[in-house]
Amino acid sequence: MYMQKSGFEQFTLWIIKIGLWSIPFLPLYVSSSMLFPFITGKNFAFRIIIEIIFALWSGLAAFRAEYRPRLTPLFKIVTIFIVVVFLADLFGPSPYRSFFSNYERMEGFMMIFHLYLYFVMLVSVFRARDWIIFFHATLLASLAVSYIGLMQKLGYRVSIQGGFRVDSTIGNPTYLAAYLLFHVWLLLLLMYRFWKKWWLVALYGAALLFELAILYFTASRGPVLALVIILVPFLASIVWFWPRIVEERIRTASGVAPRADAAVGFGPYRGWSAGRKIAGAVLLLTIVVPFFFWQIRGSEFVQSNQALKRLVNYSLTETTIKSRFHIWGMSARAALERPILGWGQENYYLVFQKYFDPALFAQEPWFDRSHNIIFDWLIHAGFPGILSYLGMIAVACWVVVRGIRRGSFPVWYGIVLASLFLTYLFQNFFVFDNLNTYLLFFAFLAFTEFFAHASVSVPAASARRVETGVETRSDLGRGVAVGGAMLFVVAGLLYPLHVKPILESKDLIRALSLPQQEGATLSQVESAFREALAYNSFGDTEVREQLSNMARGVINSSSIPAEAQNAFLAFTVDELKKETAEPAKDVKHLLFLGTILTAWAASDPGRAQEAEAALLEAIRLSPTKQIIYFPLAQLYLSTGRADAALKTLRDAWNLDRSYHEAGANLLMIALLTGNAEVA
């Protein structure tokens, strides 16, 4: 018999579950009071919620063994992945950056570790009913996200980053498409789970069509291509297993136990029912329709539709695709340099500056990711990192396949879950993860773990308590003590880990908005930046970057008194020097420093030597990055060293002579200095 849960257990369990059920709504949260509003607020909220409920879970796990995770193959590989990432971040060139990341990404080990805690609690606490609630929560959130995307498409809301492509509250069209992909497969799971309730199946079907439409409006080629490609083996599997799927569905609905001769394994399955024929027809259409649009991609019909035009136009000569190949080549070279534990998370800037391909001159100046999940994890954590990452997907698919073979896993569930993981993996060949997709990935890993062991009994020690109804005071006392201690630890870490960077971000927004206010002085702006930096959190780097951007505008302003201008520039230079004093220097900051000092040298010649030192150091660290050479040439020209300026510009042009701007700069300076023979 089951004993009645104690008040401590009931209360703690409900708080944990409510916290986990609230997580799926985070994609809707946009924090306009912080920098990078689509990223920072979601991540801070996720971390705080997870830490609070994990403290409570610790007490629950100490109290009852049934709330502890089983050491299954899937749980082990996820744990191995986290350990590998921890070691890679710890022994990387910049551990602090690897652990805490920055406002723009909010990743690093902090996010990965919180995702692990999230996974641990999902596999330990959730039962069948809890998963149904969780899935409907994330479905409801995705419909709200999709509705906002529809409002953008209809012109009622602005797509800030997407242009004609919708991005909703996710803030990026590709991220939105990746997020919706999970819900496409989830809806197929729910339609199977509730297939006898026709009205509910109809609602799920409508939701599926709606989210597919929004997926189309994102015009995101990677996720759409991944879905189309994986749909082929998915539908082929449905056709193959159709007789078994129908038999399992009828048997489950009627509560009849499997027959002794019930079909298991992988077939073959005979007979062509109407349902199987329909599945075959859909499979054929899935192959024919994309091929048809590919064939007419040059037609007026396709070219006049922006989303469709983008989805069907693929070319290896396209600038974006060519740049991906260049970046992957750089990443491959860097991975071979540090194959064991990689470079640590958030250290791709070191790879980018060391192995920069001059052919990327026309692209955005700074990349912090490989834009490919294989190369990203190779860089983040070396070969052990990518193998353990792929291992999570491989083990999850193995669990599914094993269940199908043994007959313990419904075929439909298995095919859908395997397709979900493969779609996720394939679309990540073209983009990188973010919190919105990580939340769903780890949730479905946890669900696969739950479903594979749903019929397994609770641990022996817990089972004995269930049978006898005995619950000792020492168990309860241990649970309360552990939970209380963990809550105390969480409370102590809340301010330095979360509150400080949140407040720093808010102060940074205030500092950036001050110049727009009437009557605001430069000294007030400087004070605002100082207040932001006083928090001394991982946000300092972003504050200094924004400070340097503002300083470049101050130099060019003739309306600011020289004294105030010099004070602000001195403050900016001092802060940038702190940033460039780190062992793992970022060339971007050296370039910012050198550019500001070069401009300042026009009124204070003593700054020229500092500017030259900063720019030469930047070139030493990134000798193939052309844009560093231009301010150095400008410095040489302004200080009367025309020959050095010409040599610098010639070096920049020789890195890639298809860079016409570099050639034009060289020609112009050569003509101005009377060295036409250089042209």
- Residue length, the chain? 679
| DSSP, res 425 | H
User: Consecutive sets of 10 residues in the chain, 679 residues long: mean pLDDT of each?
Assistant: 70 96 97 93 97 96 92 97 98 96 95 98 96 98 97 90 86 95 97 91 96 94 92 92 82 53 58 85 90 84 82 72 87 96 96 93 84 94 97 96 84 94 92 92 96 60 45 78 94 96 96 89 94 96 96 85 91 96 93 95 91 96 94 92 90 89 82 66
pLDDT of residue 466: 44
pLDDT at 344: 96
d(CA 317, CA 15) in angstroms, rounded, equals 54
**Residues 6 or more apart in contact with residue 182 via CB below 8 angstroms:** 420, 424, 437, 440, 441, 444
For 561, residues 6+ apart whose C-beta sits below 8 A from its C-beta are: none
**Residue pair 81/386 in contact by the 8 Å Cβ criterion:** no
Q: Taking each helix axis as running N to C, give the angle between helix 373-406 and helix 435-452, from 0 to 180 degrees, rounded to the nearest 10.
A: 20
Residue partners of 365: CB distance under 8 A and separation at least 6: 588, 627
Confidence (pTM)? 0.93
Q: Count other Cβ atoms within 10 Å, centred on residue 348.
A: 24
**What's the confidence (pLDDT) of residue 471?**
56
Tokens describing residue 402: 């094993």
pLDDT at 258: 46
In the 8-state DSSP scheme, what is residue 168?
Answer: T
3-state DSSP assignment of residue 558: coil
Q: What pLDDT, on the 0 to 100 scale, is given for residue 87?
A: 98
Structural domains of the chain ordered from first start: 555-561+572-679 (1.25.40.10)
Q: How far apart are CA 216 and CA 597, in angstroms?
A: 48
Structure tokens at 43: 């991540």
Q: Which pair of structure tokens corresponds to residue 659? A: 């860079």
Name residues whose C-beta falls within 8 Å of residue 324's C-beta, 6 or more positions apart in sequence.
Answer: 371, 372, 430
On the question of a cis peptide bond just before residue 268, with omega within 30 degrees of 0, the verdict is: yes
Long-range contact pairs involving 304-309 (C-beta distance under 8 Å, separation at least 24): 306/164, 306/219, 307/164, 307/165, 307/216, 307/217, 307/218, 307/219
- Residue 464's pLDDT is what? 42
Query: Residue 76: its pLDDT value, please?
Result: 97
Residue appearing with tokens 């993996």: 425
Going by C-alpha positions, the residue among 412, 448, 420 that lies closest to residue 195 is: 412
Q: Which amino acid is at 347?
A: N
Judge whether 574 and 597 are in contact, CB under 8 Å: no
* Secondary structure percentages of the chain, helix, strand, coil, to 5: 75, 0, 25
User: Could you give the 3-state DSSP secondary structure of residue 281?
Assistant: helix
**Which amino acid belongs to residue 491?**
A
Q: Residue 155 corresponds to which tokens in the numbers above?
A: 């012109």
Helices marked H in 255-340: 274-295, 300-303, 306-312, 319-337
| Count of beta carbons in the 10 Å neighbourhood of residue 304 | 9
